[in-house]
Chain A
Amino acid sequence: MIDLNALRTQAADILETGEVGAVIGWRRGSRGMAAEPVAIVAPEEAASLVWDPTCFHNLALYLVEERKKPAQRQVHGGKPIAIVAKGCDARAVTVLLQENHFGRDDVYVIGVSCEGTGVLDERKLAQVLPGVEPDGAAFDGDNFVFATSEGERRVPAREAMMDRCLECRNAHPKLNNVVFGEETPRDFDAPFAALKRFEQRPAAERWQFWQRQFERCIRCFACRSVCPMCYCDECVVDSINLVVTPETTAAEKADRVRWIERSASRADNIGYHMTRALHLAGRCVDCGECERVCPVNIPLRLLNNKMEREAREAFGYEPGASIDLPALVASFRDDDPGQFIR
């Protein structure tokens, strides 16, 4: 069990000593029991930090956002930023370090281990406890404990946990400056279980499945916004880099490069999601945030898992394993598979 007070004290201490300029963590949110991300800059604010099963957000996203807005750096005086990170979040930070998005000294990782459990899937909870809107959630060994108006409700964590947590490879943050919680052995589902089941279906059925999924996509770009790896200044679907001046002709505007249209249509939706999957190959750490935020429930993890497993099985590559690894597609081995080439 993680001692929340120790975590708060740690956050207050590093802010007090000036070791970091800000701490990104979670606090009690305004939407029911769910926690929300928060950046604190004063030691006394550390008391608002929380750690519970609703801390699903991958906070590595805010490290990226912070780098994009130099004005924000004045707030914390260019000092390192501390981030509270679960196992998956710490892997995301590792990938960002691998890509030199910032230096190791610019980030202070306060690791929190999910231990034997993981974070809550609100969709599953709605099925396990229908009609109940808990006021709070807490970890208790193998269970989640929900505070409701009718008293405490205990739910085995397995039944209400995110799928990604059930398949988690490393719930203990390997990259950390300080870590809370134990490295507990996990005996959940083997990784890629859903993927393996899906791959056994015939091609026509797979196509039917994806067609149905992508037809629903409304191109809200929530998956892109929530992903710490989707940090490009200009996304391939945006093509906003055409500088429009009074001399720009209508033909030039019409002829600008558009790889994928922004508007939602089946072919363009598929193009967008396939491009995203390819851009995330060897970088996606399976934090599952894209799938969680999708308003139309597209199983995006399935696509990303496919790329992750190919990277692992064909190239022996594990995303987020080490800062020193080269990027998947910027490296090669002499014995990479090439039988498919004529």
Chain B
Amino acid sequence: MSEQTPYEPRIVAFLCKWCSSAGSDLAGVSRIQYPANATPITVACSGGVSPQYILSALRKGADGVLVSGCHIGDCHYMEGNMHARRKLYLVKELLEFAGVEPERFRMSWVSAAEGAKFAQVVRDFVEDLRPLGPQDKLNAERP
């Protein structure tokens, strides 16, 4: 990235294949305009998102990490998102405790019908990340 280019936050988005991933598709086919900063990674369930994925994304230079799954009660595997909620709450708390900006990790529930919500979530996330600047705390590439 040359110095003239304005800073664009890079987001890694872990999206549940049953809801949020389809939700992002809906945002696309509905032609909703939203920033292209998020790199989606489809996962089988938000409950399968290991804390390691989040730390690893930050380590490899992500400015923010989004995990998005089904609304409580709607999990395709009955209770995956309940596990995700508990596990990732701990990740959020730990990052904050270590002094990493809490805005860098975000979670959302987006159903397959909520294309507009998905676009809004990404829009908000990018806006919140922009003032923080590049993430250099956990980034191994920028020591």
Binding site for B on A (CB under 8 A): 199, 203-211, 236, 259-261, 265-268, 270-271, 274-275, 277-278, 281, 303, 306-307, 310-311, 314-315, 328-332, 334, 336-338, 340-342
| Cα distance A207–B97 in the bound complex, in angstroms | 8
CB of B94 closer than 8 Å to a CB of A: yes
Q: Does B59 contact A267, Cβ atoms closer than 8 Å?
A: yes
Q: Give the A-B pair count, Cβ closer than 8 A.
A: 108
Given A207-B100, A332-B79, A336-B89, A342:B56 Cβ within 8 A:
no
Give the segment of B10-18, B22-30, B102-110 that binds chain A.
B102-110
How far, in whole Å, are A32 and B20 apart by their CA atoms in the complex? 61
Contact (A266, B85) CB under 8 Å given A207-B99, A342-B107: no
Do residues A336 and B138 form an inter-chain contact, with CB atoms below 8 A? Answer: no
| Interchain CB contact under 8 A, A342 and B143 | no
A sample of 17 cross-chain residue pairs with beta-carbon separation below 8 angstroms, ordered by A number, consists of A261-B140, A267-B137, A268-B59, A268-B140, A270-B138, A271-B140, A275-B51, A275-B52, A303-B97, A329-B83, A329-B87, A332-B85, A336-B82, A336-B86, A337-B85, A341-B107, A341-B109
B127 within 8 A of A: no
Main secondary structure of the interface of B (DSSP, over half): helix
Contact A259 B56 (CB under 8 A): yes
Contact of B99 with A209 in the complex, beta carbons under 8 Å: yes
- Contacts A207-B137, A270-B138 given; 14 further ones with Cβ under 8 A? A261-B140, A268-B59, A271-B55, A278-B91, A303-B94, A310-B90, A329-B86, A334-B82, A340-B89, A340-B107, A341-B85, A342-B108, A342-B121, A342-B124
Knowing A206-B97, A207-B100 are in contact, say whether A336-B52 is a contact too (CB < 8 A): no
Is B42 an interface residue, CB under 8 A from the partner? no
In the assembled complex, the Cα of A328 lies from the Cα of B138 at a distance in Å of 26
Q: Given the complex, which residues of A lie within 8 Å of B86, measured CB to CB?
A: 315, 328-329, 331-332, 336
Tell whether, in the assembled complex, residue A278 and residue B51 are in contact, meaning their CB atoms are under 8 Å apart: yes
Residues of B contacting A268 with CB < 8 Å?
59, 140
Cross-chain contact B138 with A271 (CB below 8 angstroms): yes
Chain A residues near B98 (CB, 8 Å)? 206-207, 210, 270, 274
Q: B32: CB under 8 A from chain A?
A: no
Please tell me if the beta carbons of A203 and B85 are within 8 angstroms of each other in the complex.
no
Provide the residues of chain B in CB contact with A275, threshold 8 Å: 51-52, 55
Contact A265 B143 (CB under 8 A): yes
CB distance from A203 to the nearest CB of B (A): 5
Residues of B with C-beta under 8 A to A340: 89, 92, 107
Whether A203 contacts B101 by the Cβ 8 Å rule is yes
